């Protein structure tokens, strides 16, 4: 029966069983998320953001993530693009100041369309940071990382508990849905209005279960000596066994330093020298040439 596992389920997604990422400290991996999510804020130049996306894709491959998994983000990537370009088309701003061009018989304006493209590249680059993170980190890694950067135990504990409870509610949700079907609810032949009412039928049992669970869990916490301050019985500092299982190694420091340097350089170049604006974009030139303006 046991088959060779290549992927492990987590509450938030799926991660590979074995990945070169795991050689890095969870805090380093969290830094990568921050780096990939924040750097695009300082970059307009779409080439660089596209390059960051390429880097994220490369890292996904390198990290042995099955690319099939990120398919679920595709509809979103598409609708976001559709939305942004439609907005740019319908509400371009003061038309007198803009450069019009024709395509497929419609009149577009260069600046808003181009700006939508620039923003889209930036947004997707940031999103890929999160996709990469949740595809290569388990919840436990997130906790260790947060504790390594000295988030108080109580806060990281609430986070762990809420992630765990999100998982439980997903399960409850599935059971509740079955329970409603068992009572003659035919989802397939329902109108939208009925589906809205459906929310109550899910929400009431969901909250009923949650209220009972709140009682049970708080009793369980008391039983195991947890107090609001999360300070141990002996007074003094709480030991942190989990965090001590991980050590920041030379390669972690190198990776963090590299990301820090690149980020610092980007910020300095952007603010000090006005670099990474879209003026320098070859794609923009290409685009202009393509639409003939």
Q: How remote is the C-alpha of 25 from its chain's centroid? A: 19
Given the rule CB under 8 A, which of 45-53, 77-85, 247-255, 257-265 is the region that contacts other proteins?
A: 77-85
Beta carbon of residue 201, minimum distance to other proteins (angstroms, whole number) = 5
> Any idea what DSSP says for residue 201?
H
Task: Please report whether residue 287 would count as binding other proteins according to CB under 8 A.
Answer: no
Task: Please report whether residue 211 would count as binding other proteins according to CB under 8 A.
Answer: yes
Task: Please report whether residue 190 would count as binding other proteins according to CB under 8 A.
Answer: no
Q: Is the dihedral of CA 205, 8, 3, 74 positive or negative?
A: positive
Task: Please report whether residue 67 would count as binding other proteins according to CB under 8 A.
Answer: no
Both tokens assigned to 274: 């006005």
Q: Give the CA angle between residues 88, 93, 97 to the nearest 5°.
A: 115
Give the one residue of 149, 234, 272, 273 binding other proteins; rule: CB under 8 A: 234
- Name which of 227 and 253 has its Cβ closer to other proteins: 227
Beta carbons of 263 and 28 less than 8 angstroms apart: no
User: Using CB under 8 A, which residues numbered 143 to 172 contact other proteins?
Assistant: 143, 153-154, 157-172
Beta carbon of residue 249, minimum distance to other proteins (angstroms, whole number) = 20
User: Using CB under 8 A, which residues numbered 119 to 148 contact other proteins?
Assistant: 119, 122-123, 126-127, 129-131, 134, 138-140, 143
CA distances from 87 to 115, 186, 224, 290 (A): 11, 38, 55, 21
Both tokens assigned to 287: 């685009």
Task: Please report whether residue 184 would count as binding other proteins according to CB under 8 A.
Answer: yes
């Amino acid at each position: 029966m046991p088959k060779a596992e290549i992927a492990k389920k987590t509450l938030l997604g799926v991660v590979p069983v074995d990945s070169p990422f795991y050689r890095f400290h969870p805090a380093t991996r969290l830094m990568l998320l921050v780096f990939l999510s924040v750097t695009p804020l300082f970059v307009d130049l779409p080439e660089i953001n596209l390059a960051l996306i390429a880097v994220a894709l490369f890292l996904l491959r390198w990290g042995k993530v099955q690319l099939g998994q990120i398919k679920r983000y595709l509809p979103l990537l598409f609708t976001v693009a559709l939305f942004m370009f439609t907005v740019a088309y319908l509400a371009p701003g003061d038309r007198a100041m803009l450069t019009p061009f024709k395509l497929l018989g419609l009149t577009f304006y260069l600046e808003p369309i181009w700006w939508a493209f620039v923003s889209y590249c930036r947004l997707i680059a940031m999103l890929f940071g999160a996709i990469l993170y949740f595809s290569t980190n388990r919840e436990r890694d997130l906790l260790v990382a947060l504790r390594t950067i000295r988030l108080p135990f109580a806060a990281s504990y609430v986070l762990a508990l809420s992630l765990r409870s999100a998982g439980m509610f997903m399960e409850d949700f599935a059971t509740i849905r079955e329970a409603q079907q068992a009572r003659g609810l035919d989802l397939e032949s329902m109108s939208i209005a009925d589906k809205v009412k459906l929310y109550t039928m899910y929400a009431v049992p969901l909250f009923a279960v949650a209220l009972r669970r709140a009682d049970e869990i708080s009793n369980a916490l008391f039983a195991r000596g947890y107090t609001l301050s999360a300070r141990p019985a002996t007074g003094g500092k709480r030991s942190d066994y989990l965090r001590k299982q991980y050590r920041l190694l030379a390669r972690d420091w190198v990776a963090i330093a590299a990301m820090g340097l690149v980020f610092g350089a980007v910020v300095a170049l952007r603010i000090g020298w006005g670099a990474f604006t879209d003026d320098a974009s070859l794609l923009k030139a290409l685009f202009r040439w393509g639409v003939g303006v």
